Amino acid sequence: MSDPVSWFLIEHGWKVVDADGKEIGHVEEALGDGDIFSGVVVATGLFGTPRWVSADDVTEINEGSVHLRLRGDQIKQLEEYVRPEPA
């Protein structure tokens, strides 16, 4: 595994790995405010609903992957991500 990296480097398409080490989806978007990381939007399948994963549930960020403290079944129960309307 590569060294941890900053959340600023997270890109669309990076793999998302659950607590069991299984790839469960990919990053749609990483969100934060200034230097504060809020979390990631995770797509769990071709037609799956994007889910919001709080920064508190992210255990490690490596080049190309985001690792979570949640299992795959827990991720499916997370809040659906709804993109805010433009102001």
18-75: pLDDT as tens digits: 999 999 999 999 999 989 999 999 998 767 789 999 999 999 999 999 999 999 889 8
pTM of the full structure: 0.89
The one-letter code for the residue type at 86 is: P
Q: What would the 3-class secondary structure string for the chain be? A: CCCECCHHHCCCCCEEECCCCCEEEEEEEEEEECCEEEEEEEECCCCCCCEEEEHHHEEEEECCEEEECCCHHHHCCCCECCCCCCC
Domains of the chain: 7-75 (3.90.50.10)
